């Protein structure tokens, strides 16, 4: 039986509704700012929170997740782990990622084997997710850490082949990732090509800096638009509602 968060993701997709996910990075958001940030996001119309970090420099990951969930209420809090240490039972679910676009065995299955016992003991709902890096015009943290090449941004057919492989292997979701601070977000042609062929929840993130860009990704077929780096600047958080309205096509 699929868990409640996955049911919500598939329900949104079946309804043709794109969701807005705010990515919170424990390395970049001070704990003292968590309550106000989550409250502001909920008021603006954020549909779910992702929590994760490329590195995780601090030692308070679980406490950070607990604080987010305490304010989020019924809004799902989903772990988006950058390594095997980012597991917390305080979340609602975890994206169990495999970097399918790369050929580094550590990120295809090695890290997952190390994390699996921790995830199992946590009792978290797991959502298997094929993680596909898309070339963004600059070296991103995900590329650097994983020692992998991204899929060329002008080759949607390569992204499609990877997404189809993920579907045939039984993955529950796809994540098209340009990377934190990407110069260019995932192209609409790539999103549309994958969305039309693979009937799975489709996350799209990286390099999205305007409501207009977010709306274009939603219209292309994304199920969930993920924005994180842009809202790490406190001055930008006043635009959360504009992003939510654009994504929800209001």
> What does the pLDDT look like over 80-99, one tens digit per residue?
999 999 999 999 999 999 99
Which is nearest to 170 in space by CA: 113, 226, 100?
Answer: 100
Report the pLDDT value the prediction gives residue 1, as an integer from 0 to 100: 38
Q: What is the pLDDT of residues 20-66, one digit of tens each?
A: 999 999 999 999 999 999 999 999 999 999 999 988 998 899 999 99
Q: At what angle do helices 34-44 and 61-72 cross, to 10 degrees?
A: 40
Query: What is the helix (H) or strand (E) element at residue 215, kind and residue range?
Result: helix 211-220
Is 142:110 a contact under the CB 8 Å cutoff? no
Residue 3 binned pLDDT confidence (cut-offs 50, 70, 90):
confident
Q: Domain limits of the chain?
A: 4-247
Q: Which CATH architecture has domain 4-247?
A: Alpha-Beta Barrel (3.20)
Q: Which of 33-42, 50-59, 110-119, 148-157 comes out lowest in average pLDDT?
A: 50-59
pLDDT at 128 over 70: yes
Is 44:58 a contact under the CB 8 Å cutoff? no
Report the pLDDT value the prediction gives residue 2, as an integer from 0 to 100: 54
- DSSP state at residue 22: E
Q: What is the pLDDT of residues 194-210, one digit of tens each?
A: 999 999 999 999 999 99
Looking at every residue in the chain, the average pLDDT score rounds to 96
Q: What is the mean pLDDT of residues 187-191?
A: 98
Percent of the chain topping pLDDT 90: 96
pLDDT at 138 over 60: yes
């Amino acid at each position: 039986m699929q868990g409640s968060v996955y049911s919500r993701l598939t329900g949104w997709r079946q309804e043709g509704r794109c969701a807005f996910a705010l990515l919170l990075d424990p390395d970049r958001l001070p704990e003292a700012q968590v309550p106000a940030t989550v409250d502001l996001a909920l008021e603006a119309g954020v549909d779910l929170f992702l929590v994760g970090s490329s590195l995780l420099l601090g030692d308070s990951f679980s406490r950070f997740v607990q604080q987010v969930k305490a304010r989020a209420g019924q809004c799902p809090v989903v772990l988006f782990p950058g390594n095997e240490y980012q597991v917390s039972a305080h979340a609602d679910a975890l994206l169990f990622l495999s970097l399918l676009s790369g050929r580094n065995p550590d990120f295809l299955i090695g890290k997952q084997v190390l994390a699996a016992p921790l995830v199992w003991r946590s009792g978290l709902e797991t959502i298997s997710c094929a993680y596909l890096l898309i070339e963004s015009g600059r070296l991103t943290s995900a590329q650097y850490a994983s020692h992998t090449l991204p899929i060329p941004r002008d080759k949607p057919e390569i992204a499609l082949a990877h997404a189809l492989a993920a579907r045939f292997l039984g993955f529950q979701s796809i994540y098209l990732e340009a990377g934190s601070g990407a110069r260019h977000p995932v192209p609409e042609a790539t999103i549309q090509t994958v969305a039309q062929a693979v009937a799975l929840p489709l996350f799209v993130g990286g390099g999205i800096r305007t409501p207009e860009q977010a709306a274009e990704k939603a219209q292309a077929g994304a199920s969930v638009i993920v924005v994180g780096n842009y809202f790490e600047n406190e001055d930008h958080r006043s635009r959360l509602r504009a992003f939510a309205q654009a994504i929800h096509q209001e």
